[in-house]
Chain A
Amino acid sequence: MNETENKFIVNRAETLAREFLTRRPEVVIHPFGDNDIHFVVTLDPSASLKIQGFSPFGVLVWGTDKSVSSEKAASGFATRQWKSEDERSKRRHTYFMPVIALLYSVKEDVGYYAWISEPHFPNDGPPKLIANEDLACTQIMRNSLDNIVQKVAEWYTRLAPVVILSA
């Protein structure tokens, strides 16, 4: 694949990501000029989303002109992509906020998402983030953004009393 073809794949994947992320009005996209994370997304409080303060999550966007016909195939592709990014930057990525990857097959407009830095809610302790090495992709459906937003919102809601000390 030449550089121009690759540019159109990247552009189309980013366009599909923007279409996906703007499905909810509370989601605000901030382009992040960094090779590591493509967008930082914040959540605005609303009637349907009770959240306080600045609640960002990161988004990585990957595109391919190959067919990605199943969640298993997408997971394999995303895991390889994620490991190659670690190798390219010669360091392990560490995030202190939730991060997702969006993967698009641009010829078919089929999309998948996977948690890279995944909110986790242990029964006996404060909320955590799981740094996933193997990515498990879920095909993007009508309720996918709702599920992502709810999980991020819950993580920040549970994190607040752990990190904020009221005077």
Chain B
Amino acid sequence: MNERDYIGKRGEAIFRFLITEWCDGKPWFDDNFLGEKQPIKDFIINLINPTSGDAVFYAQVKATNGKYVGTGRARKLKVKLSKKDTAKLKKAPGPAFLVGIDIVSKKGYFVQLSARSPQSFSSLPLRHRLNCRNIKKIWQKVDDYWKTRPMLPASSEFEP
């Protein structure tokens, strides 16, 4: 396995380790690796016991072996997502997150994609770390998102 492949594999393993962490004595997310089947959406993450019935988000994971840019508050994790891939991730059929993993420190950072997100990423801010506090916050935000979007159509031409 070459170094690049190893960084990718290790990044995946650390992301799964971080996102499925048990917080307050219980699991919050169940991960499903999509991998090569969905090139721009590495993972579909299911919320455990959502109030909205069924809730998921998509995650694209990028890993680095301890590479950062900037210093102090401007310090960022050096991971990239191209313009083309950012555009595809923005079209995910649900909340989508870009997650950067430092395989050396075993830490992960994330941003949620929105209409205001940049067209591409050359680094990721360290503001949102993947830890128990944010796991619970992501769970709540994604649950709220799906609660306002019932998937059942009001009517259908194929009704019995």
> Which of B17, B22, B31 makes the CB contact (< 8 A) with A107?
B22
A12 and B10 form a contact (CB under 8 A): no
B1 and A44 form a contact (CB under 8 A): yes
- Asked, given contacts A11-B20, A11-B30, A22-B9, whether A107 binds B25 with beta carbons under 8 Å apart, the answer is yes
Counting contact residues on chain A (CB < 8 A from B), the size range is 10 to 19
- Asked, given contacts A8-B30, A12-B27, whether A106 binds B22 with beta carbons under 8 Å apart, the answer is yes
- How close is A19's CB to chain B, nearest CB, in angstroms? 4
> Which of A22, A44, A106, A107 makes the CB contact (< 8 A) with B13?
A22
CB-defined contacts of B13 to chain A, threshold 8 Å: 15, 18-19, 22
User: How far apart are the CA atoms of A19 and B11 in the complex, in Å?
Assistant: 9
Counting contact residues on chain B (CB < 8 A from A), the size range is 10 to 19
> Which of A18, A28, A107 makes the CB contact (< 8 A) with B16?
A18
B1 and A19 form a contact (CB under 8 A): no
- How close is B113's CB to chain A, nearest CB, in angstroms? 25
B1 and A22 form a contact (CB under 8 A): no
CB-defined contacts of A109 to chain B, threshold 8 Å: 21-22
B22 and A12 form a contact (CB under 8 A): yes
Besides A11-B20, A15-B13, 14 other A-B contacts (C-beta < 8 A): A8-B30, A11-B30, A12-B22, A15-B16, A18-B16, A19-B13, A19-B16, A19-B17, A22-B13, A25-B6, A25-B10, A28-B1, A106-B22, A107-B22
- Residue positions of B touching A, CB distance < 8 A: 1, 3, 6, 9-10, 13-14, 16-17, 20-22, 25, 27, 30-31, 48
Please name 14 pairs of A and B residues whose Cβ atoms are closer than 8 Å in the assembled complex, sorted by A.
A8-B27, A11-B20, A11-B30, A12-B22, A12-B27, A18-B13, A18-B16, A19-B13, A19-B14, A23-B10, A44-B1, A107-B22, A107-B25, A109-B21
